[in-house]
Amino acid sequence: MRLAVCGLLAVAALSAQPAQPAPTSTLFEGGRLIVDARRPPIENAALLVVDGRIVSSGRKGRVTAPPGAARVDFTGKTIMPAMVDAHVHLGYQVGVNFSADNFTRQTLVDQLNRYAYVGIAAVLSLGTEPGDLPFQIREQQEAGTLGGALFLTAGRGIAAPNAGPGTPELKAAAYGVTNEDEARRAVREQVAHKVAFIKIWVDDRNGTVEKLSPALYRAVIDEAHTLNTRVIAHIYYLADAKELARAGVDAFAHLVRDKEVDQELVALMKQHGIAQMPNMAISENAIHAAAPAWLGAPLLREVQPAAVIDRVRDSYARRPPEAVARAQATYAAMEKSLATLNAAGIPIVLGTDDGAVRDHFYAYTAHRELTLLAHAGMTPSRILDVATRATAAFLRLPDLGTLEAGKRADFIILTANPLDDIANTQQIDAVYTRGRAIDRASLRALWR
C-alpha cells in the first residue's frame, strides 16, 4: 500500500497544476547556455521561455522579456537541453524485486518520474512491453494528463521462440515466430498500435537459443518498412550485423561483441544509414573485480533504493577472476569499435538498456553511459550532442534535443560545466519540463 500511495503522489508531483498559476513567461539570465551541442555555448546568456516553449536566446541584455515575466538567475551555472534515452526496458524492477508481475501503471509512472528527475525528457522502451498499458500511458501523456519522461514504446519485440530477451522475466513479452507469416503478422499487430519501432533479437545467447533466421528478419524488416516503421536489432555477432545491414535494418542496439567492427561493416552502415546504440554500461558492469566508485554517486542514491545499490556492491565479491578477464577483453574491443564508428561518422545515439536485467539501474545509467563514451575517446561536445539532439532526431522528436526558438522548454540547469567534464551532467541544480521546474525535492522525499 505504501508503494501505491507513493507512486500516485509522484504522479501528482509532476502532472498536477500548481495551486498558484505559474508565470507564462520566464527569463533565465546570467550563466552558460548550450543551445545546440554542435555549437559553442553562449556565455553570460539569456533564455526566454513563454508558455512552455523557447522564444529566444542570446547574450544577457539582448533578450527582452515581456512585462510581468518571472526571472531566474543562473549565474555560474550551465543550461543544457534535456537528454533522450533510446533503449530502456521499463516496468520490471521495483525495489529489490525483479518480476513480470511488477509491470503495472504504478511502476511505469514511477520510473518515468525518475527519468524526468535526472533530466531525461524521453525514453524508448524497446520491445518488452506486454499488453495495452504502454499505449494507455502514451495517450495520457499526449492528452497532457500525465507527466514524467515522454514514453515511447516498441511494444512487443520479435525473436525466435523463447529467444528474445536474455532475462527470463522479460521473455514472455516478445513474440516467438517460426515462419514468415507469423513474423509479418506480428509486425502488423504492433504497427496497428502505432509503435515507435519494431524490435528484433538476433542472438543465440552463447549457443543456448536459436537465432532469428535471416529469412524471418528479412520478412520483419520488409513488412515494417512497407508500413513506414523502422526496425532496431539486438545484435552480438559481426557476421549477423553485416547481414542485417544488407537486409536494411535501421539501427543496432548494442555493438558487435564477438570481435571488433571492420571496414566492411562500417561501409554497410554508411550505405544504409544505420544508427548505432553503443550500450556500453551494461557490458561495463562486468569488467570490475571490485565494486566501482560510481556506486557511491549522489545522483544514483537519489533515484535508487540503498538496498539495491548495496546488493550490487556485494555482488563484486563473488565474481570469478576469469569471468572478469573475459569481460574486460570484450569491453576493450567494444571501445575500439565505438572509436572506429564514431570516426567514420556513423550516427551514434544514446541507449542504456536499463532494466534489461536485475539491478541495471533505471534513470541514473544514462549519465554513467556518457562517462563511458568519454573513456572511449568521444569529446564532451560530441557526447552531449549524442545525448540530446542526435537521439531526439533519431526518435523523430522535433521538439526536443536543442533549445532553439519554437522548441519545448525541456532543459537541465547544472552547477558545473559538462563541456569541461562530461560527468558534470550529474551535478543537477534543477530540471525544467515545458518551462516549469520539476519538484525534485518532493520526489526525493517520496522515494525515501
Can you give the residue ranges of every domain in the chain?
Answer: 2-80+402-447, 83-394
- How many beta carbons lie within 10 A of that of residue 405, not counting itself? 12
**Calpha distance 7→106 (Å, rounded):** 6
SS (HEC) of the chain:
CHHHHHHHHHHHHHHCCCCCCCCCEEEEECCEECCCCCCCCECCEEEEEECCEEEEEEECCCCCCCCCCEEEECCCCEEEECEEEEEECCCCEECCEECHHHCCHHHHHHHHHHHHHCCEEEEEECCECCCCHHHHHHHHHHCCCCCCCEEEECCECEECCCCCCCCHHHHCCCEECCCHHHHHHHHHHHHHCCCCCEEEEECCCCCCCCCCCHHHHHHHHHHHHHCCCCEEEEECCHHHHHHHHHHCCCEEECCCCCCCCCHHHHHHHHHHCCEEECCHHHHHCCCCCCCCHHHHCHHHHHHCCHHHHHHHHHHHHHCCHHHHHHHHHHHHHHHHHHHHHHHCCCCECCCCCECCCCCCCCCCHHHHHHHHHHHCCCCHHHHHHHHHHHHHHHCCCCCCCCCCCCCECCEEEECCCCCCCHHHHHCEEEEEECCEECCHHHHHHHHC
pLDDT of residue 80: 98
Domain 2-80+402-447 architecture:
Roll (2.30)
**DSSP structure class, residue 361:** -
Summarize pLDDT for 341-380 with one digit per residue, the tens: 999 999 999 999 999 999 999 999 999 999 999 999 999 9
- State yes or no: pLDDT of 10 exceeds 70: no
Give the model confidence (pLDDT) of 15-25 as tens digits. 433 334 556 89
Burial of 206 (0-12, 13-18, 19+ CB in 10 A): exposed
How far apart are alpha carbons 66 and 81 in whole angstroms?
A: 23
Q: For residue 6, name the pLDDT band (cuts at 50, 70, 90).
A: very low
pLDDT in tens, 226-270: 999 999 999 999 999 999 999 999 999 999 999 999 999 999 999
pLDDT digits over 38-71, tens only? 999 999 999 999 999 999 999 999 999 999 999 9
Instruction: Look at residue 173 and tell me whether its pLDDT is greater than 90.
Output: yes
> Which pLDDT score, from 0 to 100, does residue 358 have?
96
pLDDT in tens, 307-329: 999 999 999 998 999 999 999 99
Please give the average per-residue pLDDT across 90-109, as a whole number.
97
Q: What is the rounded distance in angstroms from the CA atom of residue 199 to the CA atom of residue 165? A: 11
pLDDT at 22: 55
User: Per-residue pLDDT for 13 more than 50?
Assistant: no
pTM of the model: 0.94
The rounded percent of the chain whose pLDDT value lies above 70 is 95
User: What's the mean pLDDT when you consider all of the chain?
Assistant: 94
At the top level of CATH, which class does the domain 83-394 belong to? alpha beta
pLDDT of 9 higher than 80: no
Looking at residue 448, what is its pLDDT? 83
Mean pLDDT, residues 390-412 taken together: 98
Question: Does the pLDDT of residue 434 top 90, yes or no?
Answer: yes
At residue 111, the pLDDT reads 98
Instruction: With a cut of 60, say whether residue 2 has pLDDT above it.
Output: no
Cβ-based neighbours of 176, under 8 Å, separated by 6 or more: 159, 160, 161, 162, 163, 164
What does the pLDDT average to over 166-172? Answer: 95
- According to DSSP, the residues that pair with 294 across neighbouring strands are none
